[in-house]
Amino acid sequence: MGDLKINGITPVNIQFGGQDVDKVYNGSELVWPPSSSDPIDPYTPVDGTARLIAAQNAAINLYDTSFNTITPTNPFSSLPNINYEIAGVSDNLTYMVVCGAQGSKENIKISQNGGVSFSDPFTGTFATTWMQTIASKSGQVILSAITPANGGTAPTTNENWMLSTDYGANFAKITFPNVIGVSSVRSASLSSGGKYIALSFTGLSSNFANRNYLFYSVDYGATWFKETIFGASENRRWVVLMSGTGQYMVFIDIYTPSNSFYSSDYGANFSSKNYNFGSSLFTLNGTVGAVMDISGEHYIVARPLANEIDHGDNYAANMPSNSLTVNGSAKNVRISNNGETQLWFDEGSGSPWYGISLDFGATWYNYSAPSSVAGGSLFIADVS
């Protein structure tokens, strides 16, 4: 693969006529940005037993898929205080990131010993919430948006995305050109090792039509592509689906699902998709849940306003596939590495509703969670 150089320097960003240039070709050969000869995310996911992990009143709890409590090999410590929630957890529970609960902002904390202890990153301590933070299944890559505290002043610069590629030890700022602040993360996804990243968010701007963005990266966040390569305008909001390998990337236009885009080759090429969700995919506030398993075969997409989820086993080639009516506006979904265990949940209430499937989405069980599960974040961890 070639490498574009200008005066001996590989550029970080190129513009032509004031517009960002995303790719440069020499004939049919992509020469910029440089890409790895091996597109596969190098992390090998754990093929283990699906466990559920949640926190309430600063206590971290581990459950089986029937919400029976399990004692972990290394007992968890408590979260720093009751204002914290789990924002991401790795396979085998080795790495964990925690930050502010819904409606709260707290400095991000990292555990690299299975939740036995938590500490500040070596660099880049900042405040955020669990709904604005994602982590790879390996625990290596963590991406978080810094957003104003309740009643706080909105940021006046675009340097309020933080990225760690060393298991949370250090964070560095990401700057997206012509983007001011982050009002809300709409949808985000990482490959299992974090090599492939996609995020959709609403920026802070008085011009509503120009504040919704989609960016994706194929190199651990070193280089970012903007959604304008699809010929779409920034007034669109996106739901992001990505397989654990990064091979499948699906960007669903919330406003017009028929104007969606699909890649089966690690983001090298995209084709248009005419999905037919209708307006029920749209949500006014917060995230829209969407997950894929490692291979990309099994997936779940939440449809909050319709109280439904869509799930299937066709690599998202066509949607909707199988629709399921759920209790509450279940905009949060999780999936195990092999797709066998699938979960949806509706956070924000004292007795939130949860639904779980243990047979690749064929059969679902809905119930109110036990009192030991808070109305916040819940994760599936594949524990060997």
Give the pLDDT confidence of 12-31 residue by residue, as tens digits.
566 666 566 666 766 555 55
Predicted pLDDT at 104:
82
Contacts of 223 (CB under 8 A, 6+ apart): 12, 33, 217
Give me the mean pLDDT over the 53-79 stretch: 88
Residue with tokens 């091996």: 38
What are the tens digits of pLDDT across the range 143-183? 998 865 544 555 556 667 899 999 999 999 888 877 877 87
For the ranges 58-72, 296-310, 322-336, the lowest mean pLDDT is seen at 322-336
Here the tokens at position 186 are 């709409």
Residue with tokens 């590989």: 10
> In which residue ranges of the chain is CATH 2.120.10.30 found?
35-383
Contacts of 164 (CB under 8 A, 6+ apart): 121, 124, 141, 142, 143, 170, 171, 172
pLDDT band at 279 (very low <50, low <70, confident <90, very high): low
Predicted pLDDT at 67:
87
Closest listed residue to residue 122, CA positions, set 134, 141, 109, 135: 109
Percent of the chain with pLDDT over 70: 78
Predicted pLDDT at 192:
95
Predicted pLDDT at 110:
96
This prediction has a pTM of 0.86
Compute the mean pLDDT over every residue in the chain, rounded to the nearest whole number. Answer: 82
What are the tens digits of pLDDT across the range 343-370? 988 765 556 778 899 999 999 988 777 7
Predicted pLDDT at 26:
61
What are the tens digits of pLDDT across the range 262-273? 999 998 889 999
CATH for the stretch 35-383: 2.120.10.30
For residue 187, the 8-state DSSP code is: E
Q: Are 331 and 345 in contact (CB under 8 A)?
A: no
Predicted pLDDT at 251:
92
- On the question of a cis peptide bond just before residue 304, with omega within 30 degrees of 0, the verdict is no
Cα 358 to Cα 360: distance, rounded to the nearest angstrom: 6
Model confidence at 324: pLDDT above 70: yes
Name the residue with higher pLDDT: 125 or 205: 125
Radius of gyration of the chain (CA): 20
Looking at 173-244, list the stretches that DSSP marks H as alpha helix, in order from N- to C-terminal side. none
Name the residue with higher pLDDT: 28 or 126: 126
pLDDT band at 98 (very low <50, low <70, confident <90, very high): very high
For the ranges 53-62, 215-224, 232-241, the lowest mean pLDDT is seen at 232-241
